[in-house]
Structure formats: C-alpha cells, structure tokens
Amino acid sequence: MRYELYRRDYLKYEPGASEEEQVQRTRTPQKGEVLGVVDQMLGAGRMKVRCTDGKERICSVPGKFKRRLWIKMGMVVLVEPWEIKGDERGNIIYRYSRTQTKWLIDNGYMTL
C-alpha cells in the first residue's frame, strides 16, 4: 500500500543498532486519555474522532506536535479530552502505527 512506502517515520533508527534492538514499546492510554479512530478531516487542523468511550470529539493537533504528527483518515490516535467541553473536544497527542494498532487490539485496549 502507498502509505507504507512514504511513511516510515515511526521506525526509529539508531546508528550501530541492529534490528532486534529497535523494538519500540507501544504507548497505552493513561488516566484522562482515550483511544480513537479518525473519521473525518474537517479542515483548519481539525478532525472528527470516534473515541472508545462512545463519544465523537472534534480534535486538533497541538502546536508542539503539528510538524511531526501527520494524520490521515482511519488512523488510530490517542486523544486527551479538554477539561472544559471534554465530551465534545480534545487534543490528539499520539498516532499509532499499524503494528502498534494490531498490538492494542490483540491486548484488549481497543475493539473494532
């Protein structure tokens, strides 16, 4: 698929490290964080995310992550709901790769 060809930033390469040493741990949701799937791109840096708690939130990527966190429809993301209007709005703080998404599903953090 085309996504795999040009999106390789989730692989962390260290000089002198072999492939076995490059195992990356999957970030799990902490207190106050929710997993979600991007449903729709709304424009102006906003997207509609369907969260695992059953709510749909309009989320944005905070400024400190904007350049290094490129998101497309269908990707699994980690959402931090706002303190005010937390049921409607939130910030996207992490994007999961396909391998990490499979791990989350296999370990019961997320269902399809």
Q: Looking at the domain assignment, is residue 66 inside a domain?
A: yes
Q: Which has more pLDDT, 8 or 56?
A: 56
pLDDT at 86 over 90: no
Q: Domain range spanning residue 98?
A: 29-106
Q: Looking at the domain assignment, is residue 22 inside a domain?
A: no
Number of domains in the chain: 1
CB neighbours of 55 closer than 8 A, spacing ≥ 6? 87, 88
Q: Looking at the domain assignment, is residue 112 inside a domain?
A: no
Q: What is the pLDDT of residues 16-74, one digit of tens each?
A: 544 444 457 888 989 999 999 999 999 888 999 999 999 999 999 888 777 777 888 99
Q: Looking at the domain assignment, is residue 10 inside a domain?
A: no
CB neighbours of 83 closer than 8 A, spacing ≥ 6? none
Q: What is the mean pLDDT of residues 87-102?
A: 92
Find residue 58's DSSP bridge partners. Answer: 48, 89
Task: Answer for the pair 17, 7: CB distance below 8 angstroms, yes or no.
Answer: no
Q: Looking at the domain assignment, is residue 55 inside a domain?
A: yes
pTM of the full structure: 0.74
Q: What is the CATH number of the domain that holds 74?
A: 2.40.50.140
Q: Looking at the domain assignment, is residue 13 inside a domain?
A: no
Q: Looking at the domain assignment, is residue 68 inside a domain?
A: yes
